[in-house]
Amino acid sequence: MRKYFLDLFGCVKNQVDAENMMAHLEKAGWENAEDAESAEIIIVNSCGFIESAKKESIEAVIGWRKIYPEKKILLAGCLTQRYEQELSLSLTEADGFFGTENITEITQAVLKTAQGGEREKEEDKTGIKKSAKKKISQGDRPLLSLPGSAYVKISEGCNNRCSYCAIPLIRGELRSRTIPDILEECSVLLKRGIKEFCIVAQDSGSFGKDYVQTSKLPELLNAVSSLEGNFWVRLLYIHPDNFPLQILDIIDKDPRILPYFDIPFQHASAKILTAMNRQGNAEKNLGLLKTIRERLPHSVIRSTFLTGFPGETEEDFAALLDFQEKAALDWVGCFAYSREEGTDAYSMKGQVPKKTAAVRKKNIEEKQIPITEKNMDRFIGQKLDVLIEEQIDPSDSSSDDTIWLGRLYCHAPEIDGAAVIAGRGKNKNPQPGTLVPCRVTARRGFDLEVQVLS
């Protein structure tokens, strides 16, 4: 059996693409290698969103070529989709290129690259067949998430046209999946034992707006709510200008749909938001937060901020700091502006020095620490389910202390804090991928210590 090795970069939406590529490759008879050494071909699934991510993906290709000069390397993903013509001329370390438009053709791309660019045949000399025409259910794909969790991508592309964002250049306009298709994926994942669906899109609030005037996210949540079982639904990436308030009633009725919201506000200065091609302002966005918290008192809200956008003055940044304090968000990620060719912001006047943007980013991050710590204190004493992710054995072999790591509903995978269960061997051994009732006993930094309830 021929083997490939996947080197994954980028966001969780890129991860879903990688999982679907793996499904098609494995159906065609390829095996996912544990390491690059044992693989015939290395697939670098790249990110092309911002400059640092592009550089990281290119360096990965160059690095693999230095280590394995004889192996075939396929550069896949967003970077290829955005720059295939340029890369095919300049990045000679790669043997092939594959974008994001049609994931189902990954097998043909791998065969062509493995055969040195020769025209691929329906079956090569080793008996490896190209992917069958029959559709592969997305729910059957291999999962790269931690145990118990899966990302469910509900749409592709974006119509918001934020002036700094290259996503429409890479992924195109908004294209929503059908609700029956998404529901079928969730049903298959449930049968596999998945306990958490992380709903992702470039903007989940715009789901369905490519064929109707209003968001179909409420309809989707109602459909998922009809499924039986004990599971979580976590909503990620809802643009504040497109937040469908109807979902608050649905979440209130079904506790399995978590009151966790990822709302990328990006900024608070009216001038900067307008330049970003965003309709909101600080007052409107604070009002949205107030509405969510009044309707769902246990809500947890994450956001992202962008510093150093063209024209951002000290006054504009002060407005962002003021918003940060008033919003009292549970989690905040902050990014320095990346100037991307092809976007409207690329040619804007008043480009902010990178050093200034980085200093402002650090300022935001430091200011957020006590806000998040205070917000996490409210969970102490509560009885909540924990999604167990992994067991960590004691470093001292003579000790019977074992630590389990997991997440509460206030923790999105890999980006927020963690729930930590510490106990002796006689304690219940929670299994990764399961939901376990626990009590929160303390906070350590951003993490919460919990005890398993008997």
Instruction: Give a yes or no: residue 122 inside a domain.
Output: no
Of 267, 346, 362, 277, nearest to 312 (Cα)? 267
- What pLDDT score was predicted for residue 400? 58
Instruction: Give a yes or no: residue 129 inside a domain.
Output: no
Distance CA 16, CA 23 (A): 11
Rounded to an integer, the average pLDDT of 375-385 is 96
Instruction: Give a yes or no: residue 292 inside a domain.
Output: yes
For residues 266 and 315, membership in a common domain is answered with yes
Extract the tokens encoding 275: 């330049």
What does the pLDDT look like over 415-445, one tens digit per residue? 999 999 876 544 467 889 999 999 999 999 9
For residues 328 and 435, membership in a common domain is answered with no
Instruction: Give a yes or no: residue 195 inside a domain.
Output: yes
For residues 371 and 392, membership in a common domain is answered with no
- What pLDDT score was predicted for residue 131? 43
- HSE at residue 66, side-chain half, CA atoms within 13 A, is 6
CATH number at residue 426: 2.40.50.140
For residues 203 and 166, membership in a common domain is answered with yes
Write down which residue in 375, 406, 440 finishes a domain.
375
Query: Contact at 8 Å (CB) between 5 and 42?
Result: yes
For residues 361 and 286, membership in a common domain is answered with yes
For residues 166 and 284, membership in a common domain is answered with yes
- What pLDDT score was predicted for residue 395? 62
pLDDT at 49 over 80: no
For residues 370 and 394, membership in a common domain is answered with no
Rounded to an integer, the average pLDDT of 58-77 is 93
pLDDT at 120 over 90: no
Instruction: Give a yes or no: residue 214 inside a domain.
Output: yes
Write down which residue in 325, 351, 375 finishes a domain.
375
- What pLDDT score was predicted for residue 128? 47
- Which percentage of the chain shows pLDDT scores above 90? 74
Q: Which amino acid is at 104?
A: T
- What pLDDT score was predicted for residue 122? 42
What does the pLDDT look like over 386-408, one tens digit per residue? 999 988 876 655 455 778 899 99
Rounded to an integer, the average pLDDT of 167-177 is 91
CATH number at residue 335: 3.80.30.20
For residues 229 and 334, membership in a common domain is answered with yes
For residues 69 and 216, membership in a common domain is answered with no
Domain residues for the domain of 240 are: 138-375
CATH number at residue 11: 3.40.50.12160
Instruction: Give a yes or no: residue 316 inside a domain.
Output: yes
Instruction: Give a yes or no: residue 341 inside a domain.
Output: yes
For residues 355 and 398, membership in a common domain is answered with no
Write down which residue in 359, 375, 391 finishes a domain.
375
Structural domain count of the chain: 3
Rounded to an integer, the average pLDDT of 34-59 is 89
What mean pLDDT is reported for the chain? 90
What does the pLDDT look like over 269-298, one tens digit per residue? 999 999 999 998 999 999 999 999 999 999
Instruction: Give a yes or no: residue 131 inside a domain.
Output: no
For residues 370 and 388, membership in a common domain is answered with no
For residues 43 and 181, membership in a common domain is answered with no
